[in-house]
């Protein structure tokens, strides 16, 4: 046994003028986009860069799927929208699991190149902010940091002013005859959604009679998964930060761990959680 695989004669090998793997994926661009700034170059900075870049690539797809999910809800295409959300949930799991790679970076190693990062910080990730906005965590003040990047600023402004995924979901429910409160439907979508007791009652009815509202019930649970997964990512980020820089202030200028901790109190779909308190009550 040679323990070698034959390269079959039919395998294509001439890519001088044909599209290849590398040219289709523009790997020259992708793989020449890692530029460590530490001097002398720190061995672990490549890990730090690639961890962020892979996350940003997945954020790009998450945003693409969420925007499509919203548009499908607007068109009353419920099932198709759920398909998009299902994909986002898998990406979130990958992203949450990926923190374990970065956790191999010890505090000492990170401290050796942290000083070269200046004031740059994940806080300035416009794609992360876009995902937060798309899910409904709106905050106009977050636009400020993107003033120097007109394209990012424009996209975030567009998302800030557009209904969130939850807004679209609730509007779709209203069109189906559910008694979504008018103040929820007419709310200022540039602000974060605030909990509404009357809306919780709509979900109480849906959850109490799931079989009569199956597709809506299913959609509710998909949204709960989405928020849950998002919180798990935030939590793993917080824990990675804690083990890497302790209680140091952030390069972005925040208090660090305390600032990230407060994000865990935020909720995209509060009524889908408050309904749980009422079940069987
Ligand atoms: C050792 C690794 C990391 C440390 C020590 C760290 C630290 C921090 C700190 C302290 C903040 C608060 C803002 C500031 O003052 O800088 C922050 C925010 C943020 N970081 Fe990281 N981070 C790490 C890795 C990552 C990675 C891999 C990502 C993935 C893109 C990321 C994305 C973000 C985002 C999106 C925010 C804003 C969060 C929010 O607004 O709630 N971070 N990070
Ligand atoms: N905010 C981090 C620095 C940091 O993690 C970072 C720096 C540049 C680009 C992305 C980063 N990731 C997340 O905040 C710190 O305070 O050490």
**Do the Cβ atoms of 172 and 78 come closer than 8 Å?**
yes
| Ligand 1 pocket residue status of 55, Cβ below 6 Å | yes
Is 280 a residue whose pLDDT tops 90?
no
- Taking residues 222-234, report their average pLDDT: 98
Q: 240 lies in a domain? A: yes
Q: pLDDT tier at 110 (50, 70, 90 boundaries)?
A: very high
Domain at 108, CATH number: 1.20.58.480
Is 76 a residue whose pLDDT tops 80?
yes
- Taking residues 106-129, report their average pLDDT: 98
| Ligand 1 pocket residue status of 36, Cβ below 6 Å | no
Is 277 a residue whose pLDDT tops 90?
yes
Provide the mean pLDDT of the chain: 98
| Ligand 2 pocket residue status of 251, Cβ below 6 Å | yes
Ligand 1 centroid – CA 27 distance (Å): 27
Q: 26 lies in a domain? A: no
Confidence (pLDDT) at 154: 98
Q: 87 lies in a domain? A: yes
Residue nearest to atom 7 of ligand 1 (CA): 241
Residue nearest to atom 13 of ligand 2 (CA): 122
Total tally of structural domains belonging to the chain: 1
Residue nearest to atom 23 of ligand 1 (CA): 241
Q: 91 lies in a domain? A: yes
| Ligand 1 pocket residue status of 71, Cβ below 6 Å | no
- Taking residues 100-115, report their average pLDDT: 98
Q: What is the pLDDT of residues 175-207, one digit of tens each?
A: 999 999 999 999 999 999 999 999 999 999 999
Confidence (pLDDT) at 250: 98
Q: 272 lies in a domain? A: yes
Is 258 a residue whose pLDDT tops 90?
yes
**Do the Cβ atoms of 264 and 241 come closer than 8 Å?**
no
Residue nearest to atom 9 of ligand 2 (CA): 121
Confidence (pLDDT) at 237: 98
Whether the ipTM is more than 0.90: the answer is: yes
Confidence (pLDDT) at 270: 98
- Taking residues 96-110, report their average pLDDT: 98
Is 266 a residue whose pLDDT tops 80?
yes
Is 281 a residue whose pLDDT tops 80?
no
Is 132 a residue whose pLDDT tops 80?
yes
Q: 9 lies in a domain? A: no
Confidence (pLDDT) at 197: 98
Is 121 a residue whose pLDDT tops 90?
yes
Q: 149 lies in a domain? A: no
Q: 194 lies in a domain? A: yes
* Domain span including residue 195: 43-122+164-277
Predicted model pTM: 0.98
Provide DSSP, the chain.
--------TT-----SSS--HHHHTTHHHHHT------SSPPTTHHHHHHHHHHHHHHHHHHHHHHHHHHHHHHTT-HHHHHHHHHHHHHHHHHHHHHHHHHTTS-HHHHHHHHGGGTT--GGG-HHHHHHHHHHT---GGGGGGGTT-HHHHHHHHHHHHS--HHHHHHHHHHHTT----HHHHTS-TTS-----HHHHHHHHHHHHTGGGGHHHHHHHHHHHHHHHHHHHHHHHHHHHHHHHHTTPPPTTSS-SHHHHHHHTT--S-HHHHHHHHHTT-
| Ligand 2 pocket residue status of 250, Cβ below 6 Å | yes
Most informative mutation of 45, 122, 248, 250 for ligand 2 (most atoms within 8 A of CB): 122
Is 271 a residue whose pLDDT tops 80?
yes
């Amino acid at each position: 046994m040679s323990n070698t695989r034959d390269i079959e004669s039919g395998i294509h090998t001439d890519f001088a003028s044909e599209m290849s793997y590398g040219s289709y994926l523009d790997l020259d661009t992708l793989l020449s986009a890692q530029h460590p700034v530490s001097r002398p170059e720190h061995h672990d900075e490549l890990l730090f860069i690639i961890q962020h870049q892979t996350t940003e690539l997945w954020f790009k797809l998450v945003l693409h799927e969420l925007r499509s999910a919203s548009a499908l809800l607007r068109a009353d295409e419920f099932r198709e929208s759920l398909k998009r959300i299902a994909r986002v949930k898998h990406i979130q799991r990958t992203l949450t699991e990926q923190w374990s790679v970065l956790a191999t970076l010890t505090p000492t190693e990170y401290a050796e190149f942290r000083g070269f990062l200046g004031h740059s910080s994940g806080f300035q990730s416009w794609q992360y902010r876009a995902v937060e906005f798309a899910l409904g965590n709106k905050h106009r003040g977050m636009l400020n940091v993107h003033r120097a990047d007109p394209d990012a600023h424009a996209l975030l402004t567009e998302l800030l002013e557009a209904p969130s995924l939850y807004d679209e979901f609730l509007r779709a429910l209203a069109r189906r005859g559910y008694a979504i409160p008018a103040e929820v439907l007419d709310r200022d979508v540039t602000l974060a959604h605030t909990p509404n007791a009357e809306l919780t009652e709509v979900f109480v009815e849906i959850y109490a009679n799931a079989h009569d509202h199956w597709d809506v019930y299913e959609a509710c649970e998909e949204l709960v998964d989405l928020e849950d997964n998002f919180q798990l990512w935030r939590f793993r980020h917080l824990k990675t930060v804690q083990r890497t820089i302790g209680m140091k202030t952030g390069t972005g200028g925040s208090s660090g761990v305390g600032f990230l901790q407060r994000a865990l109190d935020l909720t995209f779909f509060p009524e889908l959680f408050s309904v749980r308190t009422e079940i069987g009550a």
